[in-house]
Structure 1
Amino acid sequence: MSQLQILSGLGDKAPAAMLLDTPDARLLIEMGGPLEPGLPRGWDLPADRPVDAVVISHDHVDHMGAVDLLPAGMPVYATEPVVASLPQRLDRRCLPLQGQIDLAGVTLRCGQAGHSLGGVWLHFEIGGGVLYSGDFSLESTLFRFDPPPSAALALLDASYGVYDRAQDECRKALERCLSMPTLLPVPASGRALEMALWLDDLGISWAMDQRCAEQLDRLLTLPDGCFQPGARSRLARLAVSTDLASAQVVLVGSPEGIGPVIEPLIARGDRQLIYTGYLPPKARGDVQSGRAQWLRWNVHPRASDLCSLAEAVNAGQVVPLFTSLEDDTAWRRMLGPRFYRPRDAVIALD
């Protein structure tokens, strides 16, 4: 008998962590840390018996920020771009960006999730198939999304809840605000490079910090098949400036606006500050105080995207992750009989 226990991420925008027990192994899926220093992680490694290996979908802090808890030599599976950011004391093993491996007697398929550099969905061949989407997007103009195989159970990123505004509308709203000098805190391995391509197309002067520039170098080592058509050649043509003082728009890769690079830029007061993603408490305080504004740039699925993916994989049960489920009326209306909220966060798989 195999089972999946959701340690964190069910019913709230919380760090991702799930425990998959099979007859042959115990696998920890994700090692999510808090989205802002000082916040609680909210979950612990199992105490009854150790895990045999860890699988990580992508390199954002709420999915791998707790890897320092792992003992030396622990096998950790991630794609090559993500492996590069893991501590060297771990037994780092590569997942394919597109393909499959045998992991502890289970076939694990991976495909690109359209969300970030090296980010993948994970499909475990257990029962009728278990799909964990990680964070995903069907709207990225940079990162490719590979269609997953059928899955009886789909655990899907629902970070935006029932929100359903198209990315084109989001871009237009942000563009209207860029006539004055602007500071955009962005995940370096996520929307930073997609925004850079967009700003370049608009003819707006932009610069990025060294962290974002390093991600561009990593992206350019990947084959064309990792990107949307034509995106890699567009990246190669980018003329990158790291002069943050003179550009109209500055992209800073500190996680969601937290860190030593961004605070001096904010304190100068000569740029408007616009957040475009999840707001941890510090960033939320900036917006509430009028120090910043917030305009979403879609990097997670809209409600219609989530429903489309559930339909495409013919899921019998869909568990929305990283979102509130206190009032599940809207979810039941959207997903119908597919909607599933597991009791005690434990799911029997076969």
Structure 2
Amino acid sequence: MAKLTVVSGVGGKLPAAFLIEISGKRILLDLGEGPEVGVLPDLSDVGIVDAVALSHAHIDHAGGLGLRREIGNPPVYATAETWRQVPTNLVEPVARRVLPLMGETTIEGVPVTIGRCGHAPGGIWLHFPEFGGLLYTGDWSAESVVFPFDPPPSSACIITDASYGDRASSLGDQIRAIAEAAKGGAVLCVPGFGRGPEMALRLARLGLSPKLCVNVRAEAVHLAADTSGLVAPGIADALHALLGTLSEAPATPDDIVIATEANAESGPSAAFFTRRAEGFRFLFTGHVPPGTPAASLIAAGQARWLPWNVHPRLDDTLRLVEAVGSRIVVAAFVAPSSMPILASRLAGRLSWQHEIDLTPRILHRIANYP
């Protein structure tokens, strides 16, 4: 028997935690927190698990690792790049296991195929071949020119990032809008280990010269030296060349600055937030949780929100589902109210169930949208 239990991550922008029981093992896919501070999965009914597998290091996928004691302190599997980003106090070295960026391996003896997810450095999807295939995408994107997305194998069941629901706008159009809005100076707030280096590269291609905070510069330097497959062909060289052209002088309100963290809640962007009276303007491009400085600035009309896609659009999600041939689709990290078109297009396959039996006699059943 194979079973999927949605611990957290379905019904809204919630922390990721999906339990699969397969080949006699219990594996928890991601263990996140947030994106709102303090929002954690309820593990009270999960029991002991054999392993945790991380798709990437962002807080809503890995921030709950401090809860491992509640599920038996299992080993944690992640790519070497993800381990570079996970705080050392969250998982002790003896419990860390390293996954490849691509290819076939095992997790506690369970066969799994892995590929790059296009969302973040070291980010991966995981495919378990038993019973027609179960695919967990984690967060993914088909639009990044920096982080590759590897086509996954056929999968009877898919747990897919659907964070944007019915959003249709392309990243190319969004970048042009952001570039225009940033002229004259703006602080572009970004999450760590994410879109920052790509934002710098793509704005530079439009003739702009952004300045990078110390964190984003360090990320760009790291990616520019990569030979392991973290970035697409040619990107390391492009980043290396770009870094040689960007000024490291202190930023002024007239500069375009790319700074972590995403909502001016910490890091260099928070420092700029304290200096907003000097004339620094802010642009936010991702999810904005209530109670953050970003939320307050936007509500007061003192900042703009313009999207930068790092998750799949409506058509991206539909194309992936068709490409892998899924009969059961679990739409993760999205509220039902944000995806009426997607729900309609997936009618008969979309499941909101808490538990899904993945054995062949069950997989043919249709899970209707409520």
Normalization by structure 2: what TM-score?
0.87
Letter in 2 for 1:325: P
2: CA distance, partners of 1:74 / 1:324: 31
Distance 1:24 1:242, change over 3 A: farther
2:15·2:39 contact (CA, 8 Å) conserved in 1?
no
CA contact (8 A) 1:113 1:135 kept: yes
* Residues 101 and 333 of structure 1: CA distance in aligned 2, closer, same or farther (over 3 Å): same
What are the residue-to-residue correspondences of 1:114-133 with 2, within 5 Å? Answer: 114-133=118-137
Q: What CA distance in whole angstroms lies between the structure 1 residues aligned with 2:338 and 2:55? A: 28
- Report 1:328-343 matches (<5 A): 329-342=340-353
SS in 1 for 2:160: strand
Is residue 266 from structure 1 mapped to residue 273 from structure 2 by the alignment?
Answer: yes
Q: How far apart in 2 are the matches of 1:48 and 1:95? A: 24
Distance of 2:31 and 2:194 partners within structure 1: 18
Q: Residue 301 of structure 1 aligns with which residue?
A: 312
Q: Deviations over 1:174-232 (max 9, x none)?
A: 11112211001102211101001012222322222222222223323432743333212
Hey, what does 1:40 align to over in structure 2? 39
Deviations 1:72-114, CA, capped at 9 Å, x for gaps? 9631111111012333514111111111212233211110111
Q: CA deviation at 1:256?
A: 3.3
Which residue in 2 is equivalent to 1:275? 284
Find 1:291's aligned residue among 297, 302, 307.
Answer: 302
1:197 and 2:197 matched: no
Residue of structure 2 equivalent to 1:147? 151
CA distance in 2, matches of 1:152, 1:48: 24
Among residues 356, 363, 366, which one is paired with 1:347 in the alignment? 356
Is 1:99 the counterpart of 2:110? The answer is no
Query: Across the two proteins, how many residue pairs are aligned to each other?
Result: 346
| Residues 36 and 258 of structure 1: CA distance in aligned 2, closer, same or farther (over 3 Å) | farther
Could you report, residue by residue, the CA deviation over 1:290-315 in whole angstroms, capped at 9, with x for unpaired residues?
12110001111000000000111111
- SS of corresponding position for 1:150: coil
Distance 2:219 2:229 in 1: 18
Bigger mean CA deviation after superposition, 222-231 or 209-218: 222-231
* CA separation of 1:232 and 1:314: change in aligned 2, threshold 3 A: same
1:164 aligned onto 2:173: no
The one-letter code sitting in structure 1 at the alignment partner of 2:356 is I
Counterpart code for 1:245? A
2:251 to 197, 222, 245: 245
Identity of aligned residues (%): 35
- State the distance in 2 between where 1:147 and 1:273 align: 36
The answer to whether the 8 A contact 1:180-1:271 is kept is no
Structure 1's unaligned 5+ residue stretches are: none
Of the structure 1 ranges 135-144 and 326-335, higher mean CA displacement relative to structure 2 is found in 326-335
221-230 or 178-187: which moved more?
221-230
Q: Which residue of 2 aligns with 1:54?
A: 52
* Matched residue type, 2:286: G
Separation (CA, whole Å) in 2 of partners of 1:104 and 1:224: 24
Structure 1 residues 183 and 327: alpha-carbon distance in aligned structure 2, compared to 1, 3 A threshold: closer
Q: Which amino acid aligns with 2:220?
A: L
Gaps spanning 5+ residues in structure 2: where? 360-370
Once the two structures are overlaid, the 10-residue window that deviates more, 64-73 or 14-23, is: 64-73
Structure 2 match to 1:78: 78
What is the TM-score when the length of structure 1 is the normalising length?
0.92
Distance 2:130 2:189 in 1: 40
Q: Is the 8 A contact 1:209 1:244 kept in 2?
A: no
